[in-house]
Structure 1
Amino acid sequence: MPIYSQVLGDRFNRLHPMLKRRYKQLEKGPYRGSGVMKKITRGPKWMYPLMFLGTRRKLLFPESGVFIPFTIQHQPLTGDNGEEQVHWERVFYFSGKKRYFNALMSLDSERGIIKDYLGEPSVLYSDLALTVLENGGLHIQSKRQRAVIGDKEIPLPRFLQGVATVVEAFNEERNVFEIQVRVQNPIIGTIFSYEGEFTQDA
């Protein structure tokens, strides 16, 4: 059973049928989709060096723009300890460049959250809480975060955290999945955001 249906429990059945199908696909193998980001924004210019360094870990990037092609893939994996994992790969195709926003997720069944390790190799950990919206959409909110330094994980105070909010829905009129992601810091404001749409690849 996919980790997302496990953490949602009975609430999983309240998801839009196309979202349920999308996440249950992981029982059979990878999910692949492609589409367009209508808008990608980033934080203030002084953060550019940090964003550029993030490209080395497939986490952040300094580019922004509108109508940027992208692909998304969820690959089910098994960790060294036997736990179910899902590798997320999001690739954004800027002019002459490919940028990534990747993560490795697994289930913490005792706390009822998804464990999210961001970057490759990981530099940031976040708890993720999942909620089903009234329209059948999926709302994901990051909670406690830790910096990952080698084999150590250091809790981050709130003023250093990038709090992520993700909303995914299905647009029946356009027959597309819609995605909105915003990462914010309580002092800086928006660090990174994107919104777009995609369809499942054949």
Structure 2
Amino acid sequence: MVRSPYELSTPPDVLDGLHPRLRTYFGAVPPGHVGRGEGVFDVVGTPRWWLWPVLVWFARDAVMFPVWEHDVPFTVENRPVRVGRGRERAVHVAVRACRTFRFRGGDRTMVDAITAGPDGLVDHLGRHGRVSALLRAEVDQDGSDAGALRLVSTRVTFRVLGREWGLPAVVAPRVTLVERFDDDADLQRVSLVLRAPFVGTLFRYEGAFRYAVVPEGER
């Protein structure tokens, strides 16, 4: 039975609380299929232009971009892959996501791969996965976000010269991602915020889209 990284690393009683329409997004993508979504981000980036030189460096590896735009059309494609990590190059089941943003200045694509690690979900950011974040998965049980999946980073590492280097908690940025389903609008809503101690919000996006798993080659 094919299982997604979320199913491999998150306790079943947590996933049981997911909104039924989110189970497709966080479930396994069968071989020969791809998960496709299309929608609009209300905001992308950061209005703090003085952070943009730093974001330029991350943009080179398709992690995040030096922008601040509203109403940005986007698409997302999720594909099952296998990635090798660590000195032993252990192979992990992963889902690689490619999010293409249609900015006014041209299209840009953000890439990451979610794997099931021994300590939980790990998100390897960018085309080369040099930055990774260990994620804690939670499902909201009450309130307006009941059934939503919340992912919060608990550790951030950089891969340099074949080794993983962890950032101290006092300076490590924190990622918070919330995926929820809006029944009234029949849309999946997503919000991501990257914050750093002493600095505040470095990058964020939020918007809504429709998503389905379809055979490869089908639009």
TM-score (norm 2): 0.85
Report the RMSD for the aligned CA atoms in angstroms. 1.7
Q: Which residue matches 1:3?
A: 5
Amino acid at match of 1:186: P
Hey, what's the Cα distance between the residues in 1 that align with 2:128 and 2:24? 30
| Structure 1 position 43, deviation (Å) | 5.8
8 Å Cα contact 1:184/1:192 also seen in 2: yes
* 1:47 aligned residue: 51
Pair 1:37 & 2:41 matched: yes
Q: Kindly provide the CA deviation profile for residues 89-143 of structure 1, in whole angstroms up to 9, marking residues without a partner as x.
A: 11211013122322112112x42x1111111222311101111111111000011
Instruction: Give the aligned partner of residue 182 of structure 1.
Output: 193
Where has structure 1 moved over 4 Å in runs of 4 or more? Answer: none
Aligned mates of 1:83, 1:56 — CA distance in 2: 25
- 1:22 counterpart residue number: 25
Aligned pairs for 1:64-143 within 5 A: 64-80=68-84, 81-108=90-117, 110-111=118-119, 113-134=120-141, 135-143=146-154
The runs of 5 or more residues in structure 1 that have no matched partner are: none
The offset of 1:68, in angstroms, is 0.4
Cα-to-partner distance string for 1:2-33 (whole Å, 9 max, x where unaligned): 11122223221211010012222523532110
Q: Please report how far the alpha carbon of residue 46 of structure 1 lies from its aligned counterpart in structure 2 after TM superposition.
A: 2.0
Confirm or deny: 8 A CA contact 2:45 2:66 kept in the other structure. no
Q: Report how far residue 82 of structure 1 moved.
A: 4.0
In the TM superposition, residue 179 of structure 1 has moved relative to its aligned partner by 0.3
Could you tell me how far 1:42 is from its partner in structure 2?
1.2
State yes or no: 1:169 paired with 2:180: yes
Using the aligned pairs only, state the percent identity: 24
Partner of 2:60: helix, strand, or coil?
A: helix
Q: Distance in 2 between matches of 1:54 and 1:78?
A: 23
Q: Secondary structure at the match of 1:197?
A: strand
Alpha carbons of 1:53 and 1:107: their partners in 2 closer, same or farther (altered >3 Å)? same
Question: Following the alignment from structure 1 to structure 2, what is the Cα–Cα distance between the partners of residues 9 and 158?
Answer: 25
- Please state how far the C-alpha of 1:149 moved relative to its aligned partner: 1.6
